[in-house]
Amino acid sequence: MPFSLARLISVAKGELPADLILTNARVVNVFTGEVEASSVAIYRDKIAGVGSYRQAKQVLDLGGKYLAPGLINGHIHLESSMLDVGQYARAVVPRGTSAVVTDLHEIANVCGLEGIRYVLDCARRLPLELFLMAPSCVPATHLETSGARLGLEDIRQILRWMDCIGLGEVMNFPGVLGAEANVMSKINSARGKVVDGHAPGVSGKNLTAYIAAGIYSDHESVSLEEAKEKLSQGMYVMIREGSSEKNLEALLPLVTDKTYKRCMLVVDDRSCADLLKDGDIDAVVRKAIRKGLDPVRAIQLTTINTAEYFRLDKLGAVAPGYLANLIVIGDLSSLKVDMVFYHGRLVAREGEPLFSVYQAGGERLTSTVNIKPFSVEALRLAASGETKPVIEIVPGQIITRKRVEKVKVADGVVVPDVDRDILKLVVVERHRATGNIGLGLVKGFGLKRGALASSIAHDSHNIVAVGASDEDIFSAVKEVERLHGGLAVIAGGKVLAGLALPIAGLLSDEPLEVVVDKLEGLEQLARDLGTTLKSPFATLSFLALPVIPELKLTDLGLVDVNEFRLIK
């Protein structure tokens, strides 16, 4: 029987039986911030009413457990999980995530519109709302080589798609401040829709100008002062806590009774291992509660606040007429999710999915690693003096520091200085076989020997490698090429382990648990080689991101992000 508005009204009035009544529930009211003892009547995929209901085809007694709206992850690059879309849903839906907002610019930078369509095709078969933000920056800048380019007409086309709700994070903030025609046209094309921001370290008049362009959110604040300024200027502040980006503790004091409506919790990027073992946005909520945030307030920051900012009608609350995307929680403080309902159907219970996972033909995105042949000699970094710029890793952050260090030189070339933790960093172009190879140095990785390489290198996803010798770096890059994309650990010229990511060089075609097991094995090998980083491959992936200060490396060379130029 098709949905009937008249029948919904009759169920709400108690005149007709509901399809399902969830009774003896403690309902989290995100409008009032209160918890109310009540029952919830569901008709088809909608909540008919909250109150006293008895007539239903099915009644489920929740035994006094809490009933809250499904969580909404307001800023996520699901590709960073390395999971195909169905496996990603397996990881996050049982944890309570019912909706995600994503611009898919990772896969778009590799495969363009075809990559976006692939993810959307997969998602339509899953109990997960996927809201697309048109990726505004493919490529993110002119300072690297990407596999695809989305122009103004492509953006206009995406904005017309049913799944699209706005324009994704405008990472080219120098382009906004310079009023570049191409950037202005993309922003204007999204008029009437939400435009997401990306303004790391932008302040003062520059911040004012960025917001004046119609960009009203930001997820890049790393200090309380930065977040306060953005909020005071009218921005919605997304408080980020991902696998590599840890900003929750610093920014949580921003959330008060006066400001909380302008705040959201997001993850940005989260690894498959963290998703499996700790959770998705639910893990951020739990951490916020542990740090002193009221549990209901924390839920508001991941439900109704997110829904209202993105104009997601009928999502984010347990209320009449809203979609019946609901989570049942035994203990509010620990946010242990016992049951998940999607459109009124039970889709997960006690952490286990109750839905099937389908793959929508990822084989059409498997030929994305195209490297121009090169020799190990191409990795030699000529010495032009006693010092060189060095990228310094900041633990727990994706920002880096620009340092100038005295370097170790042998036979006229710069070589890694393991004793001082100055390693070689390489980015090899892998989309168009241009032969571009960026060479640099990095401090903070801690490797004593060997090399790591990955085809995940935000945002253009060329191959990025770090190591204690050119020979091992070369072998690591060649192993990633052999895998048609993936991760590799090399030592002494031997492949210690690898993880194939054949779908766009970003996603695995294997089950969640297998991917996690292989990733953890790689990370343990990296620790055995000396790294002290918790997530070495995640950290490595951000060293090629030229829109995050201060110093990064792309296939075109070192980028001074603050000056937005290549260092010759």
Which CATH superfamily hosts domain 70-317? Metal-dependent hydrolases (3.20.20.140)
Phi-psi group of 485: left, alpha or beta (phi > 0 → left; psi -120 to 50 → alpha; rest → beta): left
| Helix, strand, coil distribution of the chain in percent, nearest 5 | 30, 30, 40
Q: What is the pLDDT of residue 385?
A: 87
Q: What is the pLDDT of residue 360?
A: 56
Q: What is the mean pLDDT of residues 111-132?
A: 95
| Core vs surface per residue 8-32: b (16+ CB within 10 A) or e | bbebbebebbbbbbbbebbbbbbee
pTM of the full structure: 0.94
Q: What is the pLDDT of residue 380?
A: 97
- pLDDT band, residue 346 (cuts 50/70/90): very high
Q: What is the mean pLDDT of residues 235-243?
A: 95
Q: What is the DSSP letter of 19?
A: S
DSSP, residue by residue, 473-528: HHHHHHHHHHTTSEEEEEETTEEEEEEE-TBTTTB-SS-HHHHHHHHHHHHHHHHH
Using the Cα atoms of residue 358, residue 360, residue 363 and residue 365 in order, give the sign of their dihedral: negative
Give the Å distances, CA to CA, from 411 to 193, 407, 414, 522.
Answer: 58, 13, 8, 33
Q: Tell which residue, 237, 275, 233, has the closest CA to residue 254.
A: 237
**For 505-531, how does the pLDDT look when each residue is reduced to its tens digit (9 = 90+)?**
999 999 999 999 999 999 999 999 999
d(CA 229, CA 207): 9
Q: What is the pLDDT of residue 454?
A: 98
Residue 447 CA to its chain's centroid (Å): 27
| Residue that the structure tokens 């995640």 belong to | 538
**For 396-432, how does the pLDDT look when each residue is reduced to its tens digit (9 = 90+)?**
788 899 999 999 999 999 999 999 999 999 999 999 9
- pLDDT band, residue 140 (cuts 50/70/90): confident
d(CA 110, CA 324): 36
Q: What is the mean pLDDT of the chain?
A: 95
- Answer yes or no: is pLDDT of 479 > 60: yes
Taking every pair of C-alpha atoms in the chain, what is the biggest distance, in angstroms? 88
Cβ-in-10-Å burial (0-12, 13-18, 19+) of 212 comes to exposed
- Answer yes or no: is pLDDT of 113 > 70: yes
**For 276-313, how does the pLDDT look when each residue is reduced to its tens digit (9 = 90+)?**
999 999 999 999 999 999 999 999 999 999 999 999 99
**For 553-565, how does the pLDDT look when each residue is reduced to its tens digit (9 = 90+)?**
999 999 999 888 9
- pLDDT band, residue 395 (cuts 50/70/90): confident
- List where CATH 3.20.20.140 sits in the chain: 70-317
